[in-house]
């Protein structure tokens, strides 16, 4: 059974300020680096076969820190890059609510396109690493889409506030991905 542990990247200054990042390439802040270290210490207690990350520096740095002690093969897959929010990127919550109260920004990637590329990425993982245990460093909107699409019990999960450094576990079950647990933060000293 293919298993994936999705790790949300550590905190950035834009996360701290409530700015929408999307595909704007923002580095981790010091808290984000600590969160990645705490993920590493927790994740090294289990066996993993491969570590996948996106090319955005906040995810890549999180993966690099995690991999310092795991020493796994590292694969870059941009199927799991954050959703492109178009002209909403860089705006604070107040600015977004004032300008775009419906949360629809000019030039943003549609939810359907996001789900399509995430599904393609999951299919690629299952094809390349069947029966393996995979760590996947990804982004909030990607993990939210996974929750919304693959958690059978409660569609409202797509609206859960995901913490930086949280863990979400899914596995292939009856030829379909299923969420086993989500937004786990017990390994973090602080979460945001």
Location of structure tokens 């270290």: 37
User: What pLDDT, on a 0 to 100 scale, did the predictor assign at position 124?
Assistant: 96
Say if 171 falls within a structural domain. yes
Answer whether residue 63 is part of any domain.
yes
Average pLDDT, consecutive stretches of 10 residues, N- to C-terminus, the chain (192 residues): 96 97 98 98 97 98 97 98 98 96 96 97 96 97 92 61 95 88 92 59
Residue positions counted in the chain: 192
Evaluate whether 185 touches 166 at the Cβ level (below 8 Å): yes
Candidates 9, 79, 84, 139; catalytic one: 9
Whether residue 17 lies inside any domain: the answer is: yes
Q: What is the pTM of this model?
A: 0.95
| Domain assignment of residue 190, yes or no | no
- Confirm whether 82 is a catalytic residue: yes
Task: Could you list the residues known to form a binding site for substrate, using ranges.
Answer: 8-15, 58
Sign of the alpha-carbon torsion through 104, 109, 113, 117: negative
Phi, psi of 177 (to 5 degrees): -70, 140
C-alpha span between 93 and 14 (Å, rounded): 11
**Number of domains, the chain:** 1
Identify the pLDDT of residue 84.
98
CATH number at residue 51: 3.40.50.1240
Exactly one of 37, 38, 79, 82 is catalytic; name it: 82
Instruction: Give domain status of residue 29, yes or no.
Output: yes
Domain residue limits at 102:
3-184
User: Are β-strands 74-76 and 50-53 bridged in parallel, bridged antiparallel, or unpaired?
Assistant: parallel
Residue 189 is assigned to a structural domain of this protein: no
| Residues annotated in a binding site | 8-15, 58
CA distance 131 to 126: 8
Task: Write down the pLDDT at residue 191.
Answer: 63
Is 9 one of the catalytic residues?
Answer: yes
Taking the C-alpha atoms of residue 164 and residue 169, their distance in angstroms, rounded to an integer, is 15
Question: Does residue 152 form part of some domain?
Answer: yes
DSSP string, 32-53: HHHHHHHHHHHHTTS--SEEEE
In a domain, 192, yes or no: no
Residue 60: name the closest of 46, 77, 35 by CA: 77
Q: What is the pLDDT of residue 174?
A: 83
């Amino acid at each position: 059974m293919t298993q994936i542990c999705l790790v949300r990247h550590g905190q950035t200054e834009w996360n701290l300020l409530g700015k929408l990042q999307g595909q704007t390439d923002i580095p981790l802040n010091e808290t984000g680096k600590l969160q990645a270290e705490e993920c590493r210490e927790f994740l090294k207690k289990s066996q993993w076969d491969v570590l996948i990350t996106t090319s955005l520096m906040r995810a890549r740095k999180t993966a690099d820190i995690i991999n310092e002690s795991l020493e796994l093969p590292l694969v870059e897959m941009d199927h799991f890059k954050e959703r492109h929010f178009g002209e909403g990127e860089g705006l604070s919550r107040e600015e977004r609510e004032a300008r775009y109260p419906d949360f629809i920004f000019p030039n943003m990637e549609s939810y359907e396109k996001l789900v399509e590329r995430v599904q393609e990425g999951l299919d690629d993982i299952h094809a390349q690493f069947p029966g393996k245990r995979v760590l996947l460093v990804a982004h909030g909107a990607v993990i939210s889409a996974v929750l919304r699409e693959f958690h059978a019990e409660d569609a409202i999960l797509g609206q859960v506030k995901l913490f930086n450094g949280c863990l979400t576990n899914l596995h292939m079950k009856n030829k379909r991905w299923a969420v086993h647990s989500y937004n786990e933060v017990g390994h973090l000293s602080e979460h945001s």
